[in-house]
Structure 1
């Protein structure tokens, strides 16, 4: 893949904003370069100074955990920022298109619509796998990006690895693999394939297994060339200092996160088995995520029934291939027991 052939010309020629923190590197004791409040802030922590625009300390720690050099990492305000930058940087409004594989994560389409980029949809098969022939037919000279969510949201299953490799090997644009739920999966991450495919972008997040949804820290892994595009387009201080420091602290606790993952997977198995015994449940789809997609006898009725009892799940009935299905996040053992107790009393 020749990146210049798919990158928008104005982005290639873009001179990025240079912040005060970009222009100085090293040690100093007096900072009079960024028009900050030199007297401090009302908070105990020194938030009067701008954060590191490239989040190097956080990237170094992520590098140690993921086995990826820091220069191959981009950090965004959630994965949504990375999605938006990819579409803005590589797709010409009103000309180019992206391919989506519904049912899938909704922000791909929202970002495309915001940027006036056409969306081509190739639905997954009945087994929630890639329709390779359909994808090949949908690709044209203006197709720049293909988004593959694996494990997929809302179906919870992983996409066959060999099918993803087929797309990577044959598509001349970027293939984005969204691995938000990879920590719960039996399938390995595609991070090890970064050196093999220069058109590969992997999205991950600290929102799920790491339990940091409130901080909004998403990760993208790609070639240095693609990461440079991210850094060109992003706002100078897209990850605030509080999020950087809290993320850095959390990343020291790998053992705790791994324990939560084990507990979640165990509860996923327990909840899935118990749900199958209920009269209102027709099918539990295989899950590699921290949620289950559950086909029911009456999704809308069950959803409202649970709301009235203070239990909130997600009704996915209006999504293609998910008719009468609820998406249920794996809760704590107590929360899952409360859910099961409520569903047992759902009337026939």
Structure 2
């Protein structure tokens, strides 16, 4: 049955009726020489750069730059303190505590479930298939009248693969709630972003981040792309100044460096293929899964022993061996060529020690 999505029916009543906080910078827009409206310290700040004034609450300059980079109007962009803020807002806006539920498709990013638990929202899990793709029949069976959101991660974390596009479109077209597609790793993928489908699906929310390919994890700046109506909901709920001035300034500088970022992406993808080939030469590596991300999921015969050996060699990877469908697996981020060489050398030493 085709989707009959209605945003007003999905919104919690208290959010629908919410009158958001109006900050001083919301009420006055423009330039002035004397700002006496926000109770700031007019003398400045004890730093080389003055941070005594509140930042732009809606980050217009960053959204303008992102609009050109992403090919989407600024009005369809929300900026959060990491993607985690956008995820939390989705729960608070659309899920009634103790009543509604969301659907997750493990193995997947862990913050969806954490945020659900914080907001007292039930979680229904429909595991991915053995090849890490959507179980469409299972998802359809799990949906009930109180299912508000389906979270999909593509490329998926921790498996690294992209979900089949036609399967995602099937979910979008047949679900009356929100479909959230987390594209944190999309820059490393051969698949095109779902941002291009925003005008096609009113229930679509796409999450991206500046933490991965853009190398700004320390700034905590995430993005959500959605219809203008959904973005307005995000802006009603977020704290007045959720992105600080220093982050905004640094992000604006970074967004001028598209060529540098693209070069890093190409190098990462090249290194990903080289590291994958080298990993396949070890007899204790049972399978190297194909990846569209900046990491590789590797199935081994001795995950804990290998993990411990790497820690002793000061090479830190992620042990995912206890995650559903990832038994025996380590998740290995692609580093610089020198870091990748240290990884391979440590694994070669592990092989020698075993002989």
* TM surpasses 0.5: yes
Q: Counterpart of 2:45 in 1: which secondary structure? A: coil
For 1:282 and 1:271, locate their aligned partners in 2 and report how far apart those are by CA, in whole Å.
15
Confirm whether residue 301 of structure 1 aligns to residue 305 of structure 2.
yes
SS of aligned partner of 1:293: strand
Q: What secondary structure sits across from 2:286 in the alignment?
A: strand
Moved over 4 A (4+): none
**Partners in 2 of 1:55 and 1:280 — Cα distance?**
50
Q: How many Å apart are 1:45 and its aligned residue?
A: 1.0
Aligned residue for 1:125?
A: 129
Aligned with 2:346 (options 339, 342, 347):
342
Of 137, 143, 146, the match for 2:147: 143
The answer to whether the aligner puts 1:104 opposite 2:104 as a matched pair is no
Structure 1 segments unaligned to the other structure (5+ residues) = none
Task: Provide the residue aligned with 1:43 in structure 2.
Answer: 47
Query: How many residue pairs are counted as aligned between the two chains?
Result: 348
Deviation of 1:280 (Å): 1.9
In structure 2, stretches of 5+ residues that fail to align are: none
For the pair 1:245 / 2:271, whether they are aligned, the reply is no
What displacement does 1:78 show? Answer: 0.1
In structure 1, C-alpha distance between the alignment counterparts of 2:49 and 2:77, rounded to whole Å: 27
Map of 1:198 onto structure 2: 202
Which of residues 224, 227, 230 in structure 2 aligns to 1:226?
A: 230
Question: Residues of 2 paired with 1:186 and 1:150: CA distance?
Answer: 11
Q: Of the candidates 1, 25, 38, which is equivalent to residue 29 of structure 2?
A: 25
Q: Indicate which of 163, 172, 178 corresponds to 2:176.
A: 172
Among 298, 314, 322, the alignment partner of 1:310 is 314
Residue 26 of structure 1: how far off its partner (Å):
1.3
State the SS of the aligned residue for 1:345.
Answer: helix
**Over the residues paired in the alignment, what is the CA RMSD in angstroms?**
0.5
Distance (Å, rounded) in 2 between the aligned partners of 1:76 and 1:45: 23
Question: 1:279: Cα distance to partner?
Answer: 1.8
Matched, 1:279 2:308: no
Deviation by residue 1:50-87 (Cα, 9 ceiling, x = unmatched): 00000000000000100110100000000000000001
